[in-house]
Structure 1
Amino acid sequence: MSRLQNKVAVITGGTSGIGLAAAQRFVAEGAFVYIFARRQDELDKVVASIGRNIVGVQGDVRKLEDLDRLYAKVASDGRTVDVVVANIGAVNSVKLADVTIESFNHNFDVNARGVLFTVQKSLPLLSNGASVILTSTVASLRGFPGRSAYAASKTALRSYARTWTMELKDRGIRVNTITPGPCDTPLIDAEVSSPEEAAAVRAKHAANIPLGRMARPEEIAAAMLFLASEDSSFVAGSELLVDGGMCSV
Structure 2
Amino acid sequence: MNRLQNKTALITGGNSGIGFATAKEFLEQGATVIITGRNQASLDEAKQALQGKVFTILSNSSNLNDVRALRKQVEEISPALDIVFINAGIGKFAPIEAVTEEHYDEQFNVNVKGAYFTIQQLLPLINDGGSIILNTSVNAHMGMANSSVYSATKAALLTLARTLSAELLHRRIRVNAISPGPVTTPIFDKLGMAADEKEGLKTAVQSKVPLGRFGDPAEIARVATFFASDDSTFVLGTEIIADGGMITL
Q: Counterpart of 2:123 in structure 1: which amino acid?
A: L
Correspondence for 1:113: 113
**1:124 and 1:103 mapped to 2: Cα distance?**
32
Q: Would you say how many aligned residue pairs link Structure 1 and Structure 2?
A: 249
CA RMSD of aligned residues (A): 1.2
**1:78 and 1:58 mapped to 2: Cα distance?**
16
Correspondence for 1:225: 225
Give the secondary-structure state (helix, strand or coil) at the position aligned to 2:18: helix
Correspondence for 1:147: 147
Question: 1:103: how far off?
Answer: 0.6
Give the secondary-structure state (helix, strand or coil) at the position aligned to 1:213: coil
Q: Deviations over 1:61-101 (max 9, x none)?
A: 12222123322122123420100000011112111111111
Correspondence for 2:239: 239
**1:173 and 1:147 mapped to 2: Cα distance?**
32
Unmatched segments (≥5 aa) in structure 1: none
Unmatched segments (≥5 aa) in structure 2: none
Whether contact under 8 Å (1:92, 1:106) holds in the other structure is no
Give the secondary-structure state (helix, strand or coil) at the position aligned to 1:2: coil
Correspondence for 1:191: 191
Q: Counterpart of 1:60 in structure 2: which amino acid?
A: N
Correspondence for 2:136: 136
Say whether 1:33 aligns with 2:33: yes
**1:190 and 1:97 mapped to 2: Cα distance?**
21
Whether contact under 8 Å (1:178, 1:242) holds in the other structure is yes
Q: Counterpart of 2:149 in structure 1: which amino acid?
A: A
Same amino acid, percent of matched pairs: 39
Whether contact under 8 Å (1:8, 1:83) holds in the other structure is yes
Whether contact under 8 Å (2:15, 2:35) holds in the other structure is yes
**2:74 and 2:191 mapped to 1: Cα distance?**
34
Question: 1:192: how far off?
Answer: 4.9
Correspondence for 2:208: 208
Q: Deviations over 1:135-155 (max 9, x none)?
A: 111111001111111101110
Whether contact under 8 Å (1:188, 1:201) holds in the other structure is no
Taking structure 2 as the reference length, what is the TM-score of the superposition? 0.96
Question: 1:113: how far off?
Answer: 0.6
Question: 1:195: how far off?
Answer: 4.2
**2:62 and 2:78 mapped to 1: Cα distance?**
26
Change (3 A) 1:143 1:16: same
Whether contact under 8 Å (2:12, 2:37) holds in the other structure is yes
When structure 1 is superposed on structure 2, of 186-195 and 114-123 the one drifting more is: 186-195
Q: Counterpart of 1:108 in structure 2: which amino acid?
A: F
